[in-house]
Amino acid sequence: MATAMETRPQQKASSEAATEKKRWTLSDFDIGKPLGRGKFGHVYVAKEKRSNHVVALKVLFKSQLKQSQVEHQLRREVEIQSHLRHPNILRLYGYFYDQQRVYLILEYAAKGELYKELQKFKCFTERRSATYVASLARALIYCHGKHVIHRDIKPENLLIGSQGELKIADFGWSVHTFSRRRTMCGTLDYLPPEMVESLEHDASVDIWSLGILCYEFLYGAPPFEAEEHSDTYRRIRQVDLKFPSKPVVSAAAKDLISQMLVKDTSKRLPLHKLLEHPWIVQNADPSGVYRSG
């Protein structure tokens, strides 16, 4: 499928044309039901006519992108996401545009948003949480190996594939990095101390965010949540980590979270070590797929 989506039909005889990428247009797709609405446009399920491959087509309005000055961010997102190939990272097959819109051709995540699942169940079982955390750790190890840090891991940016596998979906804040960065971005609750304090940061920001996510899976809310932003900032800076008595969570899970939410970036549990942690080994489904029941 990847080849069918990516390479241009060989209309021209020259070898140059054969290696050229296909130029997509709207007429290559049958558009189906809307999947959702984002800040800058709409997402539809669509079928690529030649291959019958089902995709998600994200339609963004150029005027809104311009107005919010996010064209640069979108370009970066497309550039990064289109080069990543991992079962837990949503594929970006390609893009095209017309006068008013930009269209992103995305892998279709049949089971929708993780955020909604979390809202429905309030919190997840240890088995489900560990399976998700392990699959995200593997995806982040892959990204970091390519010098890509995500910087915005949170439930809203995760989708669920047809087999129940988690997919990192939004690379809007990700960055290709060979040096340490100082830009402030991401959602407050998931920001590590070094980003709250606008200090330099590196790939270990994703370990912190994965720790926050693990906590939210198990307890139903992020650990440093507060009514006022200033209190969240303070709690993050002080790593004011508390484990409520309800719901009951195993000591092993709390141990893992405590090893990820560490202020000193060099002391955060490396992701490959996370995969060997007893809580992950005992709870995560080795297939990386969460099956209910």
Active site residue 152: yes
Tell me which stretch binds ligand AMP (CB under 6 A): 68-76, 106-114, 117-125, 281-289.
106-114
HEC sequence for the chain: CHHHHHECCCCCCCHHHHHCECCCCHHHEEEEEEEEECCCEEEEEEEECCCCCEEEEEEEEHHHHHHCCCHHHHHHHHHHHCCCCCCCECCEEEEEECCCEEEEEEECCCCCEHHHHHHHHCCCCHHHHHHHHHHHHHHHHHHHHCCEECCCCCHHHEEECCCCCEEECCCCCCEECCCCECCCCCCHHHCCHHHHCCCCECCHHHHHHHHHHHHHHHHCCCCCCCCCHHHHHHHHHCCCCCCCCCCCCCHHHHHHHHHHCCCCHHHCCCHHHHCCCHHHHHHCCCCCCCCCC
For position 109 contacting ligand AMP by CB under 6 A, the verdict is: yes
- Binding to ligand AMP by CB under 6 A, coded x per residue (else -) over 251-290, reads ----------------------------------------
For position 126 contacting ligand AMP by CB under 6 A, the verdict is: no
- Binding to ligand AMP by CB under 6 A, coded x per residue (else -) over 137-176, reads ----------------------x-----------------
Of the residues 98, 152, 206, 240, only one is catalytic, namely: 152
102, 106, 130, 269: which one binds ligand AMP (CB under 6 A): 106
Q: Taking the complex as a whole, how short is the minimal distance between the CB of residue 42 and ligand AMP, in angstroms?
A: 8
Tell me which stretch binds ligand AMP (CB under 6 A): 33-41, 95-103, 195-203, 229-237.
33-41
Which CB atom, from 5 or from 109, has the smaller least distance to ligand AMP? 109
Task: Point out which residues bind ligand AMP (CB under 6 A).
Answer: 35-38, 43, 56, 90, 106-109, 112-113, 159
